[in-house]
Structure 1
Amino acid sequence: MSRIARSRIRSAAGAATSAVAAVNRRTLLTVAGGTGAAVGLGLAFGPHSGSATASPSPAPPVPGVERRAAPAPAAPARPSAAGTTLHSVATPRGTGAYRRLGDGPGWARTVRGELAAAKAGRAGRRTTLASFVQLTDLHLTDVQHPLRYEFLRSGRVSAWRPHEALTVVGAVSLVERVNALRYGPATGAPLSFAMTTGDNTDNNAKVELDWFLTAMSGGRITPNTGDPRRYEGVQDSGLREFWHPDGALRDADKKLGFPRIDGFLRAALRDVNSPGLRMPWYSTIGNHDDLNGGSYAFGGSFLADFATGRRKIQLIPAADAKKLAEAEKAGADPTGKRMRELLRTHAKGLRTVTPDERRAPFTPREYLAAHLDPRHAGAGPIGHGYTRANLEAGTLYYTFRISADVIGVSLDSTDPGGHYTGSVGTAQLRWLERTLKAHRDEHVIVFSHHYSRSMKNMNRDPARPKEARHSGAELVALFQRHPQVLAWINGHSHKNEITPRKTFWEITTASHVDFPQLARVIELVDNRDGTLSLFTTLIESAAPYRADHTDLSQTGLAALYRELSFNAPGRSTALAGDPHDRNTELLLRKR
């Protein structure tokens, strides 16, 4: 399968919501087959713009899309810390094994001058070049899926999260927070778009993909599969290794203080209503979106039949779980041979569940087609970065215009050969080199799922066995040869980490599935003194800090999602990162 992308150029400045309303269905459908909608946001380029086989020069105007200069930035509002971790942060209260949360002091902003010195008076001179939001590692999860890796909990307690049934309400609460912010907390400039940097789904299941796209674009979600009348997963299995919220079973988590919450599972399967993001949003693929369980490249009928069938694996002996987890970590089983053997070995102990075709794994082509479906257009653009050319070429990387002076590049860092670490193929690397040369006179911001140190996977793409794979270190070196690259923004580690890379900043953001459940606002400014600044500000969901165990409304469940994640057995306590990885001002020399 080729992975050569067509460039998607968009300006993400201006008031997107009102512009979307002005684009009629015919225009949207026309754009979906061409370059995609500018959605009232600025320049649109022709169908071959930025592709590996065409000149980077602009093509003729696209019918139905007005060609014009990027609009002038809207007047900034007064900067405000409200709704961000500058103002307050979810903080544990009391003592004991299970702790409740309340509001605590915010995290201060740290100025980092490793790459350029901070000059006095810059706050009064600066102008805003970009202002946007990064969401990452949402992991929307079908908790009743037959191939959930919760069966490893016997050997690794963190293999299953007690809050996983609430991933949809948690994601929607984050959408609500982003909608409420509207402006960058450092500059007051309008937030012009959002980017998800992968692991949008958890099990690579079609139903999870639909939930993700609906959460982001707006609509009703029913986070239930199998029997529509009842839950069929590990939380009513009678297995003491899992939290049973609705029952009296003294399970392992209740021994740690987890509460009994009657009606929890019924509430977790109820419809969830998402307003959708009120700004354009773009999508980047992660390993959980591309591989079974985020690790295994074993497709075909075996995987599809098991995922959609009537047998569910729930738990295996601890020794087998540890052995499989160690093999997965070492990358010893990228094609899932040991997984298939395990499923056959433990076939007699599988639970009978209701089959559901919606649990089938999706292919990269189906991932692209779902993004291009006008039903999921939301605030735009159609395809959310991906285009018909991506669909035709089978590629999952693209460019888009962030503002008049800034280009965004979204990479596909997953390895089709298997394992959760990443890399890029030679075709994508050559496309990236051409793209950077074509935009040498503009600022560039790069997005991917994997962070640089996690890109060390040299497994060959089964569809392109002769194509070499390339590491994160090679990408770092490439970006350092192109100083117009200001930032590489990614996720995957579920941990906040910001690293200086000589000429650019690598910004890795924590997940929204593991506590502290964060996303990040990023604002780029020209200080007009020979330096640029990247402001990073972490945000939490809109849910209340204090959960009420009797409130099983959508809002109440979102608060419980956060509380349960804080108390999850085996969770890492280092995911928030150090203060210099959180709310920052990152200085750069202007090239």
Structure 2
Amino acid sequence: MSHSEAPEGCPMAGTEPVSAINRRRFLLASGAAAAVGTAGTTAAFLPRPRRPHSAKPEPAVRAAAQRSAPHATTTLETTARLGGAAHPGTYRRLVSGPGWPVVVRGDLAPPRAGREDRRTALACFVQFTDLHLADVQNPLRTEFLRSRTPTAWRAQEALTVAGAVSLVERVNALDGGPHTGLPPAFVMTTGDNVDNNSAIELEWFLTLMSGGRITPDTGDPGAYEGVQNSGLPLYWHPGDAALRDLDKRRGLPLIPGFLDAATRPVTSPGLRIPWYSTVGNHDDLPGGCLSPALSDYAVGSRKLLSVPPADAAAYAKALGSGDDPKSEVLTAILSRNKASARTVTADERRRLCTPHDYLAAHLDPAHAGAGPVGHGYTEDHLDGDRMYYSFQVAENVIGISIDTTYRSGHYEGSLGTDQLRWLERTLAAHSSRSYDADGRLIRNPGADDAHILVFSHHHSPSMTRRPDAARTDEPRHDGAEVIALLSRFPNVVAWINGHSHVNRITPHGHATPARSFWEVNTASHVDYPHHARLFELVDNEDGTLSLFTTLIESAAPHRTAPDFDDLSAVGLASLYRELAYNAPGLADGMSAGVQEGWAGGAGDRNTELLSTARPGAPHAQ
């Protein structure tokens, strides 16, 4: 399934209220001089060149931060925008538009004047999320749901590998963060690295990140066997001039040779910096929400492309309720419609990956790339198939990656009791002061104080207490419980996640500064707006920390070839972005509201997030 984050019948994560910021006023103010806000307010500014710091001798990390480092283009300088007027049935080309300035968010701590000249850079890293590398010919995909809603299938899905390679190229060009000059130390992926939980997609992902040749093709190596040459008008047929399909009626172009180009080998340079991995529901389950019991269909030779309306409605209802962990509804639909399914070439490489498979593949030295071997996981994690760990982000900065997935047919997230207790112990090990559930101060004299960053796939609204049919003996814990736990530890700076496909930044605990932190939710790299996020953590040496978040796009040019005749890897990466921007509801008359919802408001994009430096934490005053 291509869009199981929010199947029909379930509220879209992107429909949560967006930040109430007057966008026109914000854009008018974007070129103004730096402004300083007060607690609970925001102010927009463009990053200023750094001045030398002379208050005290410079350690190596501070010296690196003070240099005026060049950096690859980010959304501070320019962003992809739809050109032309929004008219139904019109395909809109992308142009380079103005960048987004930084919004200072003082929800949790006041921004104090002069902090730009006092700062000590602590850490710099990049977040990838929701790459959804997709084998679009996989027989277990359920594109047929598009008969109910146009967004259930993406016209750009065949280009996920080309688009992701371009994102790796962008990160490799980042010499230094725009606010500190520190080069990124690592990339963290926050899940849904693949789309169908298949072994071949996992191989593509690990090769993408560590470097090598990828052939985004399965089944018959001489013939495409997916929906885009099926003859069904439900799907965009880029090479069929005679078929007036649904997407051509929406304005999508005729591109001869598209499918051949999309399945050609592409070479990833691999990241030049270490990378870490966090698991998402699509990494753990086929389609992100189906039962592992469907493995035989994934490696089989029958691909269902369309079903009667009643079957589509029944499947959508099962997805919406989440009460079919064994995927019995889909199994019945697949069986009932077998005779009308397309015959495709069976491929064992599409086998579903167990958690053990996923861990073992990460631990394979062939995929070490720039390191570390395992990318956060170790041989010890194979005992019990545990997918959570802690790691050193930088000196006095700790990262914690948690596994929020269900392992039995559901796209929502949760934590089991064992992992929640592990998380509590890990937080306590790095916080000399904490609070109990009643708010009483607890001293942890043996703790090694550090600033703490937590990473997960699911964001807090998508985590529930739904029982996990694969782990029935363990109670599950929702997002509210995770927020409550993180709020007990003053050293927690941020919880960084994905899943929603929306840019959203939420302050937690603003009533009690010592127990507050930021939740930073980043949009996907498969849907509009195709963003990753660059983070820079600094100590302002005035009792506050600043976490800078800067959105980045892939290295592909915003403009595609005028006649769509550039089908090189770079040309496909540009087309990947442009097709996503022309998805139903984006390029037509609904564009303004949908774009604001998915890209987030001004305060969800390029930001400076202030928080109080905690007592006992490094550099706190």
In the superposition, the TM-score normalised over structure 2's length comes to 0.82
d(CA) in 1 for partners of 2:408, 2:415: 11
Query: Residue 308 in 1 paired to residue 299 in 2?
Result: yes
Decide whether the 8 Å contact of 1:139 with 1:199 is kept in 2. yes
Decide whether the 8 Å contact of 2:285 with 2:408 is kept in 1. no
Secondary structure of the residue aligned to 2:246 is coil
Secondary structure of the residue aligned to 2:288 is coil
How big is the shift at 1:335?
2.1
Distance 1:148 1:71, change over 3 A: farther
Among 562, 580, 583, which residue is 1:568 paired with? 583
Query: Residue 438 in 1 paired to residue 394 in 2?
Result: no
**Correspondence for 1:415:** 406
d(CA) in 2 for partners of 1:315, 1:139: 23
Query: Residue 554 in 1 paired to residue 554 in 2?
Result: no
Query: Residue 577 in 1 paired to residue 570 in 2?
Result: no
Decide whether the 8 Å contact of 2:527 with 2:580 is kept in 1. yes
Q: How does 1:321-400 map to 2 (within 5 A)?
A: 321-400=312-391
Secondary structure of the residue aligned to 2:325 is coil
Structure 1 runs (4+) greater than 4 angstroms displaced: 70-74, 79-82
d(CA) in 1 for partners of 2:465, 2:232: 36
- Counterpart residue identity of residue 460, structure 1: D
Query: Residue 498 in 1 paired to residue 521 in 2?
Result: no
Secondary structure of the residue aligned to 1:162 is coil
Among 211, 216, 236, which residue is 2:229 paired with? 236
Output one character per residue of 1:341-385: Cα deviation in whole Å (capped at 9) or x when no partner.
111121111000001000010000000000000110000000000
d(CA) in 1 for partners of 2:71, 2:62: 21
d(CA) in 1 for partners of 2:251, 2:61: 55
Query: Residue 126 in 1 paired to residue 119 in 2?
Result: yes
Secondary structure of the residue aligned to 2:202 is helix
How big is the shift at 1:333?
1.7
d(CA) in 2 for partners of 1:185, 1:145: 41
Secondary structure of the residue aligned to 1:587 is strand
Among 48, 71, 88, which residue is 2:78 paired with? 88
Output one character per residue of 1:459-495: Cα deviation in whole Å (capped at 9) or x when no partner.
2252x32110111100100010001110000000000
How big is the shift at 1:71?
7.5
Secondary structure of the residue aligned to 2:383 is helix
**Correspondence for 1:289:** 283
d(CA) in 2 for partners of 1:168, 1:326: 31
**Correspondence for 2:476:** 469
How big is the shift at 1:168?
0.1
- Counterpart residue identity of residue 281, structure 2: N
Decide whether the 8 Å contact of 2:168 with 2:271 is kept in 1. yes
d(CA) in 2 for partners of 1:523, 1:279: 16
Secondary structure of the residue aligned to 1:430 is helix
- Counterpart residue identity of residue 580, structure 1: G
d(CA) in 2 for partners of 1:168, 1:466: 39
Q: How does 1:111-190 map to 2 (within 5 A)?
A: 111-190=104-183
d(CA) in 2 for partners of 1:457, 1:121: 45
How big is the shift at 1:570?
4.4
**Correspondence for 1:480:** 487
d(CA) in 1 for partners of 2:408, 2:296: 21
**Correspondence for 2:436:** none
Q: How does 1:203-218 map to 2 (within 5 A)?
A: 203-218=196-211
How big is the shift at 1:74?
6.0
- Counterpart residue identity of residue 523, structure 1: E
Secondary structure of the residue aligned to 1:532 is strand
How big is the shift at 1:147?
1.0
How big is the shift at 1:84?
0.4
Decide whether the 8 Å contact of 1:199 with 1:492 is kept in 2. yes
How big is the shift at 1:569?
2.0
d(CA) in 1 for partners of 2:494, 2:219: 43
How big is the shift at 1:457?
4.2
d(CA) in 2 for partners of 1:104, 1:317: 44
- Counterpart residue identity of residue 588, structure 1: S
Query: Residue 528 in 1 paired to residue 518 in 2?
Result: no
- Counterpart residue identity of residue 252, structure 2: F
How big is the shift at 1:337?
1.0
Query: Residue 589 in 1 paired to residue 612 in 2?
Result: yes
- Counterpart residue identity of residue 450, structure 2: E
How big is the shift at 1:322?
3.2
Decide whether the 8 Å contact of 1:418 with 1:459 is kept in 2. no
d(CA) in 2 for partners of 1:408, 1:198: 15
Output one character per residue of 1:230-258: Cα deviation in whole Å (capped at 9) or x when no partner.
10010000000100001111101001111
How big is the shift at 1:182?
2.4
Secondary structure of the residue aligned to 2:474 is coil
d(CA) in 2 for partners of 1:453, 1:299: 25
- Counterpart residue identity of residue 584, structure 1: T
- Counterpart residue identity of residue 251, structure 1: D
Query: Residue 278 in 1 paired to residue 292 in 2?
Result: no
Q: How does 1:192-211 map to 2 (within 5 A)?
A: 192-211=185-204
How big is the shift at 1:156?
1.5
d(CA) in 1 for partners of 2:330, 2:605: 38
d(CA) in 2 for partners of 1:165, 1:534: 35
Output one character per residue of 1:545-589: Cα deviation in whole Å (capped at 9) or x when no partner.
011110000000000000111112245432100000000000000
Decide whether the 8 Å contact of 2:71 with 2:174 is kept in 1. no
- Counterpart residue identity of residue 556, structure 1: G
How big is the shift at 1:72?
4.8
Distance 1:328 1:343, change over 3 A: same
* Count of residues in Structure 1 that have an aligned counterpart in Structure 2: 518
Decide whether the 8 Å contact of 2:292 with 2:408 is kept in 1. no
**Correspondence for 2:218:** 225
Secondary structure of the residue aligned to 1:568 is coil
d(CA) in 1 for partners of 2:585, 2:202: 28
Output one character per residue of 1:310-331: Cα deviation in whole Å (capped at 9) or x when no partner.
1001112334323322321221
Decide whether the 8 Å contact of 2:71 with 2:173 is kept in 1. no
